[in-house]
């Protein structure tokens, strides 16, 4: 409705201008003055289809919108070099399994902010979490589930109960500490073909998401970062190469507002 009124207003304004201008021209012609080249153009515009005028107005609005976007300052990209990554994480700590261990293997982060152990599971992560808490973190990121897929034999609820126990233990000691849960990252079909339990990652992630909603914890889903990036996987089709880790860390930072 508002769009129609606006177009009607424009048409009325244009018509009035044309009429006034044409009247002046006719007056001058009546006085023997020289004719104006614009008369023919004005007459042609009077016959212009309303739909064409609407299209012209729409194109003009699009051009104006693009001009405004061009004037807006570009979003500053965060530096991805190793020194910047270490500095940006601040006093936050990541606890995880062999996937999180990649932060250390590729030397993006150091052991004072990453507590990672190959084979780590939610039911057995108490000791690693205690080490992380001893570092007095400002934010705690947990990244587990890969080994639980096989250990829990595809039982996502059993996995979540183990995870919930760890979280409640943390909250008992540090009730104000912000906790962030990383979802299980995608596993390529080649690995699932060898171990069918690995194919339950999506079900585990959904169970984790529901648990986070119940406990008021932020769930971090980074699966989209690996869409179409099969070349970023190692030969086992599970673990990841170095290209992924700066992006993953950036996603955690965004979730925590660091």
Residues 50 and 100 reside in one and the same domain: no
Choice between 235 and 42, residue whose per-residue pLDDT is larger: 235
- Give the residue-averaged pLDDT of 151-171: 94
Domain containing 8 equals: 2-71
Q: Mark which of 46, 71, 96 sits at the end of a domain.
A: 71
**pLDDT per residue as tens digits for the range 6-21:** 555 555 544 555 555 5
Residues 198 and 94 reside in one and the same domain: yes
Residues 205 and 125 reside in one and the same domain: yes
Whether the per-residue pLDDT at 30 is higher than 70: the answer is no
Residues 66 and 113 reside in one and the same domain: no
Amino acid 72: pLDDT: 47
Backbone φ and ψ of 94, nearest 5°: -110, 130
Q: Is residue 77 part of a domain?
A: no
Whether the per-residue pLDDT at 29 is higher than 80: the answer is no
Amino acid 142: pLDDT: 97
- Give the residue-averaged pLDDT of 203-213: 96
- Give the residue-averaged pLDDT of 34-44: 53
Q: Is residue 59 part of a domain?
A: yes
Residues 65 and 86 reside in one and the same domain: no
Q: Is residue 186 part of a domain?
A: yes
Whether the per-residue pLDDT at 48 is higher than 80: the answer is no
- Give the residue-averaged pLDDT of 16-31: 55
Termini Cα distance of the chain: 44
Q: Is residue 76 part of a domain?
A: no
Q: Is residue 129 part of a domain?
A: yes
Whether the per-residue pLDDT at 55 is higher than 90: the answer is no
Under the banding of pLDDT at 50, 70 and 90, the label for residue 74 is very low
CB atoms within 10 A of CB 177: 14
Whether the per-residue pLDDT at 245 is higher than 80: the answer is yes
Residues 135 and 7 reside in one and the same domain: no
Q: Is residue 139 part of a domain?
A: yes
Residues 20 and 118 reside in one and the same domain: no
**pLDDT per residue as tens digits for the range 125-141:** 999 999 999 999 999 99
Q: Is residue 22 part of a domain?
A: yes
Q: Mark which of 22, 49, 71 sits at the end of a domain.
A: 71
Q: Mark which of 21, 42, 71 sits at the end of a domain.
A: 71
Number of domains in the chain: 2
- Give the residue-averaged pLDDT of 64-75: 55
Residues 140 and 197 reside in one and the same domain: yes
Amino acid 258: pLDDT: 76
**pLDDT per residue as tens digits for the range 227-239:** 999 999 999 999 9
CATH number at residue 137: 3.40.50.1110
């Amino acid at each position: 409705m508002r769009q129609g009124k606006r177009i009607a207003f424009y048409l009325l304004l244009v018509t009035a201008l044309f009429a006034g201008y044409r009247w002046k021209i006719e007056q001058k012609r009546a006085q023997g003055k020289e004719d104006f080249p614009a008369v023919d153009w004005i007459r042609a515009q009077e016959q212009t289809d309303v739909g064409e005028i609407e299209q012209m107005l729409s194109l003009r609005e699009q051009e104006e919108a693009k001009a405004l976007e061009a004037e807006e300052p570009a979003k500053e990209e965060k530096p991805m070099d190793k020194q910047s990554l270490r500095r940006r994480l601040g006093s936050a700590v990541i606890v995880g399994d062999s996937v999180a261990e990649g932060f250390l293997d590729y030397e993006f982060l150091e052991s004072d902010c990453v507590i990672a152990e190959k084979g780590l599971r939610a039911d057995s992560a108490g000791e690693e979490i205690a080490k992380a808490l001893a570092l007095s973190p400002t934010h705690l990121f947990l990244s587990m589930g890969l080994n639980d897929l096989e250990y829990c034999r595809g039982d996502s609820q059993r996995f979540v109960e183990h995870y919930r126990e760890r979280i409640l233990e943390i909250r008992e000691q540090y009730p104000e500490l912000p906790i962030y849960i990383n979802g299980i990252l995608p596993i390529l079909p080649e690995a699932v073909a060898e171990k069918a339990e690995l194919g339950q990652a999506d079900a585990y992630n959904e169970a984790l998401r529901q648990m986070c909603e119940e406990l008021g914890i932020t769930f971090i889903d980074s699966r989209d970062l690996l869409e179409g990036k099969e070349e970023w996987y190692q030969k086992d089709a599970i673990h990841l190469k170095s290209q992924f880790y700066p992006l993953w860390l950036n996603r955690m930072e965004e979730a925590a507002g660091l």
